[in-house]
C-alpha cells in the first residue's frame, strides 16, 4: 500500500507498534478472564506496561477532550439558535406593532374623511335645492319674455380635512384612495371667473341644468365613497369601486330616457 492511501497516523514509525499493542490488548480482553488478565499484565515488562498505560490514559484524555468540545459546540449552537429565535420574535413583535399603528392611523383617516364627506354631502344637497329654485325662477322669467341680464356665483366647497391629509390618503389603499380623490376632485373645482355676469334667462337655465345633473351625480358618489370608508372603519361590506357605480348609474340613466 502506498503512502497516499495509507491512514496518516500509520505513516509514522510508531504507528505500527502502537497498533500491534492495541490489538494484543484487545485480544487479551476477549480471551482471558479477569484473574488471567491481571496475571498477564503483571508479567508484562515495565516499559511495555508503561506504554500501555500511557496509551490508555491518552486515549481517555482524548475522548474526554473530544466530548468536551462536542458539548461546547452544541452549547454554542443552541445559544445561537436561541439568539436567532429571539431576534426573529423581536422583529415579528416590532412588525406587528407597526402594523397595528398603521391600522389605527388608517381608521382615524377614514373616519375624518368620512365625517367631512358627510358634511359636504349636506352642502351639496342644499346647493341642489337652491339650483332647483333658481332654475324655476328663470323659467318663469323666460316665459314672461324678460330681457333682463343676470349673474351667477358658482358654488365652492371647503375641503379642509382632505387638504391637510392628502399625503396620507394612500393609507386607505389604492382603490379606495383613488375613489376619494376622484370625488374630491369634483368638490374642489374652482371655476374662473367665479361669477358669471350679464347672462340672459335662457343661458342661466342651461347652466343650472348642467350644474343640477353634476351635483346630483356627485351626491350619489359621496354616499358610495362613504360606504367604502365605512368598510375601512368598521369592516362593513365594500360596495365596490366608484367606476362600477358610475357605469351602473349611467346605464340606468340610458334606460330611463
**pLDDT at site 21:** 60
**pLDDT at site 2:** 47
Residue 246 CB-density burial (10 A; 0-12 exposed, 13-18 middle, 19+ buried): middle
Low-confidence ranges of the chain (pLDDT < 70): 1-45, 48-49, 51-59, 62-63
Q: What is the pTM of this model?
A: 0.67
**pLDDT at site 18:** 57
Which DSSP string corresponds to 151-198?
Answer: EEEPP----HHHHHTGGGGGGG-HHHHHHHHHHHHHHT---SSSEEEE
Q: Where are the domains of the chain?
A: 13-83, 104-256
**pLDDT at site 228:** 97
Cβ-Cβ contacts under 8 Å for 133 (sequence gap 6 or more): none
Residue 186 CB-density burial (10 A; 0-12 exposed, 13-18 middle, 19+ buried): middle
**pLDDT at site 140:** 94
- Residue 200 in contact with residue 208, Cβ under 8 Å? no
**pLDDT at site 82:** 81
Cβ-Cβ contacts under 8 Å for 220 (sequence gap 6 or more): 245, 249
- Residue 161 in contact with residue 116, Cβ under 8 Å? yes
Outline where DSSP puts E strands in the chain: 150-153, 195-199
* pLDDT tens readout for residues 60-75: 776 677 777 778 888 8
**pLDDT at site 58:** 67
Amino acid at each position: 500500500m502506498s503512502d497516499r492511501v495509507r491512514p496518516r497516523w500509520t505513516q509514522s514509525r510508531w504507528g505500527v507498534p502502537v497498533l500491534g499493542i492495541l490489538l494484543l490488548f484487545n485480544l487479551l480482553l476477549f480471551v482471558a478472564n479477569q484473574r488471567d488478565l491481571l496475571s498477564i499484565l503483571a508479567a508484562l515488562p515495565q516499559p511495555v506496561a508503561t506504554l500501555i498505560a500511557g496509551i490508555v490514559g491518552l486515549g481517555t484524555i482524548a475522548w474526554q477532550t473530544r466530548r468536551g468540545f462536542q458539548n461546547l459546540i452544541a452549547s454554542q449552537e443552541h445559544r445561537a439558535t436561541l439568539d436567532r429565535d429571539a431576534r426573529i420574535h423581536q422583529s415579528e413583535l416590532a412588525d406587528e406593532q407597526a402594523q397595528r399603528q398603521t391600522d389605527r392611523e388608517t381608521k382615524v383617516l377614514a373616519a375624518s374623511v368620512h365625517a367631512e364627506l358627510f358634511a359636504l354631502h349636506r352642502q351639496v344637497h342644499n346647493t341642489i335645492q337652491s339650483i332647483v329654485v333658481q332654475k324655476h325662477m328663470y323659467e318663469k322669467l323666460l316665459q314672461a319674455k324678460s330681457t333682463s341680464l343676470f349673474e351667477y356665483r358658482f358654488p365652492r366647497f371647503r375641503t379642509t380635512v382632505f387638504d391637510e391629509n392628502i399625503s396620507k390618503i394612500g393609507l386607505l389603499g389604492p382603490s379606495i384612495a383613488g375613489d376619494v380623490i376622484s370625488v374630491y376632485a369634483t368638490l374642489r373645482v374652482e371655476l374662473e371667473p367665479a361669477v358669471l355676469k350679464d347672462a340672459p334667462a335662457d343661458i342661466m337655465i342651461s347652466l343650472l341644468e348642467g350644474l343640477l345633473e353634476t351635483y346630483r351625480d356627485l351626491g350619489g358618489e359621496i354616499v358610495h365613497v362613504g360606504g367604502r370608508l365605512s368598510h375601512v372603519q368598521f369592516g362593513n361590506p365594500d360596495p365596490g369601486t366608484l367606476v362600477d357605480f358610475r357605469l351602473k348609474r349611467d346605464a340606468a340613466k340610458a334606460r330611463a330616457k
